[in-house]
Amino acid sequence: MLRRLLAILPVLALVLSAACTKTTTPTAVDTLCADGTFICIGNVSAACAPSGKAYVTTQCGVDKFCNATTGKCEATVCEKGSSKCAGSDSSEICSADGSTKTVKPCLATESCLAGFCVSKSCGGTSQKCAWNAVLTCSSKAWAKTDCKSGEMCDPATFKCVARACDGSYTQCKDESTAAHCSPAGDAWVEQACGAGNGCYDGVCHAQVNGSTVEDTGNGSTDGDAMSMDDTKDGKTLLELPPKDIQLDAPDKFEVVVSESATAPDGAVPLSFSNASAAWLDSLGTLQITGAEGTTKVEIQVAKIDEFATGTFTAVGQEAPDSIVGYSDGTGAPGKFQYQAADYTITVDEFGDVGGRIKGSFSAQVADEGGKKLWLLDGKFDIKR
């Protein structure tokens, strides 16, 4: 998610990833870390606050990974877990966190197809799963069927099915259970937090008595040094009582992507496991973003006043600088190759930092070549 969240993390819960399953009650400490230090908790970067009693945590997201050496989010060098062909006789394999890639030469009897080395000839009607594709033997040769954006090949049925989640994301199932998406994106893997620990912002850690913390919540995921002042805009900092687990409602961002203006019967909305909502004060813009793998949707409502609600349309020009962008992952990295020609965005709730941004949207989008798509029945409910 594109926001920064504070969590109270004792050192014993951060030394090893196994701390979440530790069964002994952690010993209380005066300080947790040294000011200015960073540590990784899975795909989350945790920065030590000046007091040494708290961490600011940042989800690195889809396009970044947490570098265990620096403790900071860094840009991936390839799509996490992907396999691509490096020519016709080699497979380029990306690590699960997207930090490295290796080239695997195919055998003399093989060629690369959809990122995998497969035999040049095949028999019968056998099938295989490749990277986001189904391979089927036809006339003694492999035929490839690409899965749609947000789908994966199911190795049990050899059919394209919707991914259950995004491998870069973590969340809390409940107050004592963390869950992370499997590398393949096919299931959530649960992890019980040990005695004395709770689940906060998707990770397990112990509780610190009476520590004062601040939720900066400004939507950044760049992994750079974060502002951790003792006060913010004159507001009183949050005092966490002993063993108080604060759990947020899960963020929601979903939309149906259609090739027609009417969604087909039974259309399943694309659900984004990485979602964020941020107020860009200098631009007078409410920015709402969803990412699932390489698929992204971004809404910018501008220019408006902070906390403004209502319906904003292209026809009415209520917020004339508004933008709706969509990327299916096939364009240039970081670019939205589809832009809205028409849109309707309704903001029902626009809370302060720590509050919720709720609403709905629809849009007709087109690429530079004139290809049109429709974003239908979009809904968002995201913590700011």
DSSP letters, 312-351, are EETTTTSSBT-EEEEE-SSSSTT--SEEEEEEEEEEEEE-
Structure tokens at 285: 């813009």
Give the model's pLDDT for residue 372.
94
Give the model's pLDDT for residue 24.
42
Give the model's pLDDT for residue 208.
59
Mean pLDDT of successive 10-residue segments in the chain (384 residues)? 33 35 45 82 80 73 86 89 91 91 94 93 89 91 88 90 77 82 78 75 63 35 32 35 47 93 88 88 91 89 95 94 90 80 95 92 93 95 92
Question: Mind listing the pLDDT tens digit for each residue in 321-330?
Answer: 999 999 987 7
Give the model's pLDDT for residue 259.
93
Q: Rounded to two decimals, what is the model's pTM?
A: 0.48
Please name the residues in contact with 124: beta carbons below 8 A apart, sequence gap of 6 or more: 137
**For 97-117, b where at least 16 C-beta lie within 10 A, e where not — what string?**
bbbebeeeebeeebbbbbbbb
What residues form DSSP beta bridges with 300? Answer: 287, 323
Cα–Cα distance, 118 to 123 (Å, whole number): 12
SS3 of residue 131 by DSSP: coil
